[in-house]
Structure formats: structure tokens, C-alpha cells
Amino acid sequence: MPVDKLTHNQVEAAMERAFAQAKAATGGENAHYIPYLANVDPSLLGLSVCLVDGTCLSLGDATHPFGVESISKVFTAALILKQLGPEAVREKIGADATGLPFNSIMAIILENHSPSTPLVNAGAISACSLVGPAGDADAKWAAVTGMFEDLCGSPVPLIDELYRSESATNFDNRSIAWLLKDYGRIYDDVDLSLDLYTRQCSLAVTAEQLARAAATIANGGVSPTDGCEVLSADLARKLTSLICTVGFYQSAGDWLYRTGIPAKSGVGGGILAVVPGVMGIGAFAPPLDAAGNSVRGQEAVAALGEGLGLNVFQG
Ligand code: DON
């Protein structure tokens, strides 16, 4: 069916089918390398859609707050695209897929000492170093959380326990940050940049907030619910291309081949999916596959896409 002719009833019915399919999916495990995440209830499942006409529909645990984790990379990428422009982001970080896990050190070395993209750990730490104003941790934090609030349409609190849990165990990210410093890819104080990255990963979001943020990106940077322009249409497209390229890390190609839907995952179990001109989707279910992507979240988004004929490659 033509996606611009979708009725709310069709979307609702497809969501119910996708939710049921996701609920029946098995497999995966909570992220265990961050103690807080290991203890989240693995049976939680939330699915939310926000259409570009501003209608929002939700099922299950769509208002349950969880750790945004790597989906935070989308928000900081949006911020530095806005603060520095797309050319500076490409030159200082890159806009390429790595084909490797999210915390790969090998990727940095293979890519000529480049962080590759703001959507893997290396590029996200580098992105945190680029957020202005340099050297001012409080003002940088306010800029990051401000972008979250603008895109999500509501405040995003910090989960203190998750922040402490991540800070105590982020040894690989510390290595990445110092390696990038050596390669001239950290543009502010190293510890400050790493701490900003760790803190942004520890923000709480809901599937509903992710759907709304995704819908704003899908709607050319303008919030479909309050009409605020958060990003220009050009930056919304650039951000979507980054999500498309590497949103699911080493399985980004498989995901895109299967669904044709640009999407970004986090090890908290969240997925933010952008269907340009049509809708944003937020999904949440903690158990992850080997690449760190929510098993039931993927099932929900893929089934919804299939049910409604959503695919960015159909023109
Ligand atoms: O850097 C980390 O290890 C986490 N804070 C975030 C990783 C993550 O969410 C990867 N995505 N699926």
C-alpha cells in the first residue's frame, strides 16, 4: 500500500501484529558487561510509533524508562552536525561504516587512525570532544541534554546507578579515548570527553520518546508534535544516512537488506528507527543478539515494516 495513504487504523493493526510477533520471539541476553543492564527485567517489551502528522501510538512497556546507551550517539551526532556542519564532522570524525563491533579498536587502526563515524564508540567519544563550548563540562552536558529534549519533546533524566555502573567498567572506552588522543582525534580534554560519552549513555528514555525523536528526523528535522525545527532538512538527511550505514554495527548491512529501514540500537535494548517522510519508531526489549541489538526490538520493527510496506528503497 502507498505509505502516504496509511490510515491510523492500518498502523494500529500492523503494530498489534508486530508486537505479538516480537513477544513470541525468543533468544538473546541482556548486556552483561554493564552490571546495571544485566539486572533489567528481560521480559519488558515496548513499541511506539509517531507519524509525521503528529499521531503517536504505543503498545506494551512503551513508557518504561531504560538506558539509551548507544542510541545517544544519534543525538550527539545531531548536535555536532548543527554546531560544526556536515563537512567538519566528516573531516574530523568520518561518515563511514566500520563493519566491526561497536567498541572495536581494530577499526580505528584499519581506518588510518580515524574514528570512522559518530555512531561507533570511537566516533562518539570524538563527537563528545567536539561538542561546544570546549572545556566547559556543564555547558557541554546542557547542550547534549538540550538536543535530547528537543528531539524527544520531553526531559531525559540521568540514571545515576547506570552512570556509576558504566564509569566503573568502561575500560575499553578509556583505551579508545587515549588511543584517539594519540591520533589527534580528541578535540577537548580526554577525561571530560569520555565522561560526557559515559553520562549520555546513562540517560533514561522511553520507546515513546525514541519514536518522537525518530519522527522529528523522519519529518526533515521538524517535530511533528509541536512544530519546532530542531534540525535543517539537510542535516536530518545526513543523520539518517549515518544511521543507515552503521546503526546496527557489523550487522547493519544484513538489517538494511532485510528491512530497508534505517535504525540505531543501544545495549539497553532500545531501537530508534526512521522512515523518512512517514514515521519514527521506538522499540524496547532488553535481550540482545551477538552484535548488541535487541532481539525482540528488531522483530517488532521488521514486522511493522513488512506489515505496512515501509522500505526506504522503494522510492
Ligand atoms: O560504550 C558502551 O559500551 C555503552 N555505553 C554503549 C554501547 C552500546 O549501546 C552499543 N550498542 N548497541
Q: Cβ atoms within 10 A of the Cβ of 168, count?
A: 11
The angle, 0 to 180 degrees and rounded to 10, between the axes of the packed helices 72-84 and 121-130 is 40
Q: Return phi, psi of residue 242, to 5°.
A: -65, -45
Nearest atom, ligand 1, residue 248 CA:
12
Round to the nearest angstrom and report the end-to-end CA distance of the chain.
13
Answer yes or no: are the C-beta atoms of 308 and 11 closer than 8 Å: yes
- Looking only at the bridges linking them, the beta strands covering 66-67 and 56-60 are unpaired
Question: What is the best residue among 34, 103, 163 to mutate for testing ligand 1's pocket, by most ligand atoms within 8 Å of CB?
Answer: 103
Per-residue pLDDT in tens (0 to 9) along the chain, 315 residues: 567 689 999 999 999 999 999 999 999 999 999 999 999 999 999 999 999 999 999 999 999 999 999 999 999 999 999 999 999 999 999 999 999 999 999 999 998 899 999 999 999 999 999 999 999 999 999 999 999 999 999 999 999 999 999 999 999 999 999 999 999 999 999 999 999 999 999 999 999 999 999 999 999 999 999 999 999 999 999 999 999 999 999 999 999 999 999 999 999 999 999 999 999 999 999 999 999 999 999 999 999 999 999 999 997
Nearest atom, ligand 1, residue 173 CA:
1
Going from the Cα of 174 to the center of ligand 1, the distance in angstroms, rounded, reads 13
Q: What is the pTM of this model?
A: 0.98
The angle, 0 to 180 degrees and rounded to 10, between the axes of the packed helices 72-84 and 137-152 is 110
